[in-house]
Structure 1
Amino acid sequence: MSPNTNKLYDTDYGLWLASQIDSLKSHQWDNLDIDNLIEELEGLNRSNENALESYLVVILTHLLKWEYQLKARSRSWQGSILNGRKRIARLCKQQPSLKLRVSDLVPEAYTDAIEIATLETRLPADVFPTKCSYSADQILDFEFLPADEELPY
């Protein structure tokens, strides 16, 4: 690898990326900036997981609001749930192994969702179950919405 390639990573990311792509396409292995390529690939994987978790937070927040604020239900909440599910489906189509991460990411996403739902509904946090009561399959199911039971809130 030329010293310029490594320096390029720090000074012009777009040009560095183009040079790495060219080197890969032309099988010029000696021109590859392996350490920075590894870092970028790891970052890309983390980025996809972060996106997945972010969509989970939105879905879970709106599922909680849907379940615990029956009188305030809106199509906007349904739209947010649907959008999150569609985004996750697309991510998992591009990277099927991400679907295996959903169950692992739910607990932390659920904690965030409780915080947001508490803020948005003005309900006390202890109204919501401390553990997520929705399965990963329910969270991703385009048809699932929590039961229509009348709650005292």
Structure 2
Amino acid sequence: MTALKTRPAPAGTAYADDFYTWTQEQSARLRSGDLSGLDRENLAEEIESLGKSQYDSLVSLWRVVMLHMLKFDYQPERRSRSWTVSIRTHRNRAADVLEDNPGLQSKLAQALARAYRDAREEASAETGLPLKIFPKECPYTREELLTRPFSADPEDTSD
């Protein structure tokens, strides 16, 4: 839910008073064609917020992928199956978000840059390595992010 507004809703439950009931009333009005009773300003804001949440989800998923890639590369002695599983799982989920929301393809470069910024800081915090050890710009190509194989077993190079 976005920040509460003080705008009054047309008729029914106010947006700021009971968000759940407001959503149910607004969806019922939309379905019935009662457009005059819609709280257009808050509805528009919530729809925009839904789109932003998909973008935020994509950033978050790529952040986890990059975090584990950095840890994998900068702490080879601590590699674990959980890192490789996390990379695979979050890659798949990110692919699902993009498949379900093809309009996000145009925002992918921006999402990856934001994800790396946070992954870099988290990698430093989690590994105890100085932040300056990790490149300021993402060291991975888009292809590497999508397809580079990972295994906790040094003898296994399959993904």
**Bin of the TM-score, shorter chain as denominator length:** 0.7 to 0.9
Deviation at 1:40, TM superposition (A): 0.2
What corresponds to 2:30 in structure 1?
A: 24
Structure-1 residue corresponding to 2:121: 115
**Cα pair 1:65 1:121 within 8 Å, conserved:** yes
Post-superposition offset of 1:4 = 2.7
The amino acid of 1:4's aligned partner reads A
Q: What does residue range 1-153 of structure 1 map to in structure 2 within 5 Å? A: 3-5=10-12, 7-141=13-147, 143-145=148-150
Shift of 1:2: 6.8
Unmatched tracts of structure 1, length 5 or more:
149-153
Report the Cα distance in structure 2 between the residues aligned to 1:67 and 1:2, rounded to whole angstroms: 53
- C-alpha RMSD of matched pairs (Å): 2.2
Q: Deviations over 1:77-113 (max 9, x none)?
A: 0111112112212211221112332211222221211
Question: Deviations along 1:15-59, whole A, 9 cap, x unmatched?
Answer: 211111111112121121110110101111111111111111111
What residue identity is the alignment partner of 1:80? S
| Structure with the larger RCO, 1 or 2 (CA within 8 Å, 6+ apart) | 1
Extract structure 1 runs of 4+ deviating beyond 3 A: 143-146
Which structure shows the higher helix fraction?
1
What's the TM-score once normalised by structure 2's chain length? 0.81
Q: What secondary structure, in the 3-state scheme, does the structure 1 residue paired with 2:136 have?
A: coil
SS at match of 2:129: coil
TM-score (norm 1): 0.84
Identical residues among aligned pairs (%): 35
Q: Distance in 2 between matches of 1:3 and 1:25?
A: 17
Question: Equivalent residue of 1:3, what SS?
Answer: coil
Aligned length: 145
Q: Which runs of 5+ in 2 are unaligned?
A: 1-7, 155-159
